[in-house]
Homo-oligomer: A and B are copies of this chain.
Amino acid sequence: MKLYDCGMAPNPRRARIFIAEKGLDIPSIEVSIIDGENLKDDYLAINPWGTLPALELDDGTVITEAPCIFVYLESLYPEPNLLGMDPIEIATVGSWERFCEMQGMQAIGEFFRNQNEIFKNRAMPGFSGISTIPDLVGRGKARAEWFFKKLEKQLGKSEFLAIDRFTAADITALCALDFAKRVGLELPPESKNIERWHKVVSTRPSSQL
């Protein structure tokens, strides 16, 4: 297997952390989003959607989309469990993992890309020719603040985000929050539960990836 990766991007980081938590060592190939390598023919021949991460299997099959890579690796390497042990756990982890992507990662990406000169003609991941829309900076910020509030509330109820142990939901939450910080979206000062949780998950060696 090999992982198509991009060191600076938050979505490939979800896959890197998941792989590290499984104790796997999968070689990776860097594809620079900043340089637009993900939208060039060489990479589009591998993943026509132009997104990262993508996992190429030894038979040439390419698995795109971080959550699909998670499910694939969990089925091959069940330990340690990161996606839930029974149907209700799996649904709960899946919902929170998705929530962190759809409401966290996407909102923060909207805030970041639509004010960034580098992305002025590729405002959506995986696309050429989509212009930035300045009004989305404010919308992205408003959505991210709503996301922070929901996360703060949930982390007041449990030590980890979805269930009572570290799962893929915590991985995507961590990637979203660290991405927010990097692009200048600060947590509200009253985010005590998020801060407590963030300290705990940031002690895991995988968080350094």
Contact = CB atoms under 8 A, between A and B. Distances in A.
Interface string A82-107: 00000110111011001100010000
A100 to B, nearest CB: 12
Contacts of A24: none
Nearest to A83: B71
Nearest to A126: B103
Given A87-B72, A87-B75, A143-B124, A150 B48 contact: yes
Q: Which of A87, A91, A92, A94 has the most CB of B within 10 A?
A: A91
Nearest to A150: B48
B48 A71 contact: no
Contacts of A94: 65, 67-68, 71
Interface stretch (A13-21, A27-35, A129-137, A178-186): A129-137
B150 A139 contact: no
Nearest to A90: B71
A133 B63 CA distance: 34
A143 to B, nearest CB: 7
A49 B150 CA distance: 9
A133 B130 contact: no
Q: Which of A71, A136, A150 has the most CB of B within 10 A?
A: A71
B139 A68 contact: no
A147 to B, nearest CB: 10
A1 interface: no
B133 A95 contact: no
Contacts of A68: 90-91, 94-95, 98
Interface in A98-124: 98-99, 103, 123-124
8 contacts: A48-B150, A49-B150, A64-B95, A65-B98, A67-B94, A127-B143, A129-B142, A133-B136
Given A48-B150, A49-B103, 14 more contacts: A49-B99, A61-B88, A63-B95, A65-B95, A65-B98, A68-B90, A71-B90, A71-B91, A72-B90, A76-B87, A123-B139, A127-B146, A133-B133, A133-B139
